């Protein structure tokens, strides 16, 4: 194939991916919302596929199911939310594709913007399609497994005869099915632990903790120079009740928030706030006046493995 033909194919592929998010961008203003505007990314090849469910208090409170597909998040609005009961056939309206970065979005969409209101990450994890998901989407039946923090087991999306965008979200028979309903799931965010009701009421968990500490007359410690927690060597073992985390290949960070000021420090004390603006903004939105978070910034490759070269 000629280089010219390869160039045209590459341009056509990029144009197609831009088209996937054209409806999403047309409904939003970059100067009016903190929602991400990233472009479609290359479709995962053999790697894990992400899913996320938002609980969104817009004009009508609903849930949004989002499945990673073709480098974007294919999205369905589910008014009544997911149910583990196989008898519950939940209506799901196919809406515009969202960028993959939206899987990390949590916050308040300002008044006057499309979808104004609080939105939390209600659940997230990995989804495993049965068969080709693109064909399933086209044919009107998408069967898949969810491995999330709240939802598990086999689910299906079935297109209704009433319209191309009208679907049903249904739990399939398996050991994860039950006679419970949506309200039996925890309603809190898997990120902050707060619910939509907490956020709308202005609940501040930091103030609540301080009040309880005051009643208990617990002296408040002052951290002058925080340092990252480091692993200690020990003898290998395998005992019930213990799990081991993988070694991440990234940057160790101490995220410090004091009021509106947020600083990211390396383990050597260097300021990395400008290096990781997305993390800086995410910490700034946390509902705490003062907090220090010890963690590691990691970038994954298309197979879900940490990749220091991508940082």
What residues are annotated to the active site? Answer: 247
Report the DSSP beta bridge partners of residue 127. 49, 146
Distance CA 190, CA 145 (A): 19
| Closest alpha carbon to 38 in 101, 111, 130, 109 | 101
Distance CA 242, CA 159 (A): 44
Distances (CA, A) of 220 to 214, 241, 255: 9, 32, 20
Note whether 195 and 189 are within 8 A (CB). yes
End-to-end, the C-alpha distance of the chain in Å comes to 33
Nearest 5 degrees, angle CA 169-CA 196-CA 34?
Answer: 90
Structure-block tokens of residue 235: 């003898």
| Closest alpha carbon to 59 in 103, 118, 120 | 118
- Helix ranges (H only) for the chain are 3-20, 22-26, 133-139, 196-200, 205-215, 277-284
Distances (CA, A) of 87 to 127, 129, 178: 22, 22, 10
Note whether 44 and 134 are within 8 A (CB). no
């Amino acid at each position: 194939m000629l280089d010219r033909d390869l160039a045209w194919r590459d341009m056509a592929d990029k144009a197609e991916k831009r088209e996937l998010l054209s409806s999403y961008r047309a409904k939003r203003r970059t100067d009016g919302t903190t929602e991400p505007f990233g472009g479609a990314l290359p479709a995962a090849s053999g790697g894990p596929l992400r899913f996320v469910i938002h609980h969104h208090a817009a004009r009508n409170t609903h849930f949004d199911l989002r499945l990673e597909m073709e480098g974007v998040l294919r999205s369905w609005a589910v008014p009544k939310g997911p149910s583990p009961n196989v008898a519950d056939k939940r209506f799901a309206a196919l809406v515009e594709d969202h960028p993959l970065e939206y899987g990390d979005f949590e916050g308040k969409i300002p008044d006057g913007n499309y979808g104004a209101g609080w939105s939390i990450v209600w659940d997230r994890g990995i989804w495993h399609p049965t068969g080709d998901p693109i064909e399933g989407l086209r044919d009107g039946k998408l069967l898949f497994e969810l491995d999330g923090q709240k939802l598990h087991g086999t689910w299906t999306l079935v297109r209704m005869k009433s319209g191309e965008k009208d679907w049903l979200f249904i739990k399939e028979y398996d050991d994860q099915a039950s006679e419970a309903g949506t309200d039996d799931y925890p309603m809190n965010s898997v990120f902050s632990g707060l619910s939509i009701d907490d956020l709308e009421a202005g609940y501040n968990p930091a103030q609540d903790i301080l009040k309880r500490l005051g009643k208990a007359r617990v002296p408040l410690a002052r951290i002058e120079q925080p340092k990252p927690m480091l692993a200690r060597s020990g003898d290998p073992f395998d005992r019930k009740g213990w799990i081991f985390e993988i070694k991440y290949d990234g940057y160790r960070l101490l995220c410090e928030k004091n009021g509106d000021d947020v600083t990211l420090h390396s383990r050597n004390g260097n300021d990395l706030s400008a290096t990781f603006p997305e993390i800086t903004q995410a910490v700034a939105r946390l509902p705490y006046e003062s907090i220090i978070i010890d963690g590691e910034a990691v970038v994954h490759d298309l197979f879900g493995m940490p990749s220091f070269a991508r940082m």
